[in-house]
Amino acid sequence: MNFKLVLLWTDAMIFLLLAVALAGAWLIRQRPHLLLPWQRLFRSRIGMVSLLVLSLFIVVGLLDSMHYRVALPDKNGNGQTVYAAEVLSVFDTLVGDLRSQNEKTYSAPMAVYLYAKESMETADGKILREYPRLKYGGAHLQDPQNEHTGDVLKRSLYGLFAGWLGGVLLALLVVSVAAARSRTTARQWVEARQHTPLNAVLASVILLAMLFGLTANLAGAYHVLGTDKVGQDVLYLSLKSIRTGLVIGTVTTLVMLPFALFLGIAAGYFRGWVDDVIQYIYTVLSSIPSVLLIAAAVLMMQVTIEKHGEWFSSSVERADLRLLFLCLILGVTSWTGLCRLLRGEALKLRELEYIQAAQSFGVSSMRILSRHILPNVMHIVLIAVVMDFSALVLAEAVLSYVGVGVDPSTNSFGTLINNARLEMGREPMVWWTLAAAFSFMLVLVLAANLFADAVRDAFDPRLNRTGDAK
């Protein structure tokens, strides 16, 4: 084989979560009472558009979670396959030019010259201070002074048109396939869904396709978001940071849920000394400053990793283990809020008639918890998980900024912001790294928050919303 698959710990956790999500979707389709709140969610325009945006981030994260190592040429001719130390992902392969076309140092977005002047020798031996041409950005231009603006405009219009055409064709394909499956014409299928967010979703697909076409066409000739101190493309670094944000937001949830679920419903159902012990545990844990607790745990873990370098075959595996431990630490320290909510809900549910009837008939406590209590608190769990996702993404940025987050070699929004800290104080100011990290985080967190609001409206029985889409 020309490559060797590499399964990192966080890759395994991500695909485990994906398998659980697919199994849950299959289970929900089989039970109409579970499907009803999802149908309400699918009627929300804001919910579906934000889910579409989140899906793009998820696709990038999944592509960046399929890792491999390339086989090196057999120079000795002994037939043994030796693999490169560098661990790549499928995403790296798809955006190869963004990853490999590095400049010397800083360059502004869409620029054709470096951002700082350098001493250059002319043909007659004179030394001048000029802005050097970029090696890759705008390298196709013969006369950048006169051709740059027109070339950017032409590529932008062509990219927008190609994206619009691709988005329209994709929308028509989706409508045609759905109409064929329902055995109606495309027009009848669309008219039957006038009260659904179909139009908003199709319009969003076309707009996103135009944005993709614009970015892809410009990225083929320029650094759309500029380059950093070592000449790496900031757009590539921002896209690579998506996976870290998704890992922090999802894997931490996988760690947090067992603590919150078991302890929360146990405290509310059993009450007495069990409730007192669990309340004491999460009250004490909540009283400890979370940043200090996380910092202490991360530093101890970092010392352990540095002492046992033989555990890892590459720096990527070492950085991935630190990311996994950060998720574990965040999960252990962030379950208390959901535990309180579940305790209060379990206290209310245990007083209902069907729970008391089950107790009177001698049904075991574990069966009551699993068959009656747990299913009736899952809407709270789902709402809290979706709403906590954005908070965890922001927490990673803060922790990485103060130096107790992910490994410095791991691409993340926090490391981008940390690297931009000194760049903002230089003259001339390098602003685009911070702007790129801020923009990507804003879109990701905003989409997650809007989706969380839609999930809350659809799943919270107290709101009792059965009607109109927003």
pLDDT digits (tens, 9 = 90+) for 197-209: 888 888 999 999 9
**What is the structure's pLDDT at 70?**
85
Q: Quickly list H helices, 308-431.
A: 315-333, 336-349, 353-360, 365-368, 378-401, 413-423
Task: Indicate the pLDDT class of residue 469, thresholds 50, 70 and 90.
Answer: very low
Report residue 267 as tokens.
């405290």
* Eight-state DSSP code of residue 59: H
Better pLDDT: 460 or 250: 250
Count the Cβ atoms, other than its own, within 10 Å of residue 142.
6
What is the average pLDDT across 127-150?
86
Residue entry with tokens 């535990």: 339
Poorest-pLDDT segment among 69-73, 308-312, 415-419, 432-436: 308-312
Residue entry with tokens 């896209």: 239
What is the average pLDDT across 378-398?
83
Percent of the chain at pLDDT exceeding 70 = 96
What is the average pLDDT across 348-356?
86
Residue 436: pLDDT over 80: yes
Average pLDDT in the chain: 85
Contacts of range 68-73, beta carbons closer than 8 Å, 24 or more positions apart: 68/3, 68/4, 68/5, 68/6, 69/3, 69/4, 69/6, 70/2, 70/3, 71/1, 71/2, 71/3, 71/4
Paired with 414 in beta bridges are none
**What is the structure's pLDDT at 235?**
93
Q: Collapsing DSSP states into helix, strand and coil, what is residue 347?
A: helix
Task: Indicate the pLDDT class of residue 467, thresholds 50, 70 and 90.
Answer: very low
Q: How many whole angstroms separate alpha carbon 95 and alpha carbon 100?
A: 9
**What is the structure's pLDDT at 405?**
80
What is the average pLDDT across 133-149?
87
SS3 content of the chain, % helix, strand, coil (to 5): 70, 5, 25
Spatial contact of 107 and 96, defined as CB atoms under 8 Å apart: no
Give the Å distances, CA to CA, from 313 to 6, 74, 225, 319.
11, 21, 33, 11
Task: Indicate the pLDDT class of residue 465, thresholds 50, 70 and 90.
Answer: very low
Residue 78: pLDDT over 80: no
Residue 464: pLDDT over 70: no
Residue 93: pLDDT over 80: yes
**What is the structure's pLDDT at 329?**
87
Residue 425: pLDDT over 80: no
Poorest-pLDDT segment among 23-32, 178-187, 338-347: 178-187
What is the average pLDDT across 214-238?
91
Task: Indicate the pLDDT class of residue 131, thresholds 50, 70 and 90.
Answer: confident
Q: Which residues contact 72 (CB under 8 A, 6 or more apart)?
A: 82, 83, 84
Q: How many whole angstroms separate alpha carbon 313 and alpha carbon 325?
A: 18
Q: How many whole angstroms separate alpha carbon 186 and alpha carbon 165?
A: 19
Task: Indicate the pLDDT class of residue 79, thresholds 50, 70 and 90.
Answer: low
**What is the structure's pLDDT at 1?**
57
Residue 40: pLDDT over 80: yes
Residue (of 105, 107, 123, 124) closest to 115 by Cα position: 107
Residue 255: pLDDT over 80: yes
**What is the structure's pLDDT at 77?**
66
**What is the structure's pLDDT at 207?**
94
Task: Indicate the pLDDT class of residue 64, thresholds 50, 70 and 90.
Answer: very high
* Eight-state DSSP code of residue 133: B
Residue entry with tokens 């945006």: 53
What is the average pLDDT across 50-75?
88
For residue 258, say if its preceding peptide bond is cis, omega within 30 degrees of 0. no
Report residue 467 as tokens.
């009607």
CA 400 to chain centre: 16
Q: Is the pTM of the predicted complex or chain greater than 0.75?
A: yes
Poorest-pLDDT segment among 70-74, 79-83, 430-434, 442-446: 79-83
What is the average pLDDT across 416-434?
83
Longest dimension (CA), the chain: 101
Print burial letters for 220-245: b (CB count within 10 Å at least 16), e (below 16). ebbbbbbbbeebbbbbbbbbbbbbbb
Residue 136: pLDDT over 70: yes
**What is the structure's pLDDT at 463?**
58
What is the average pLDDT across 136-156?
89
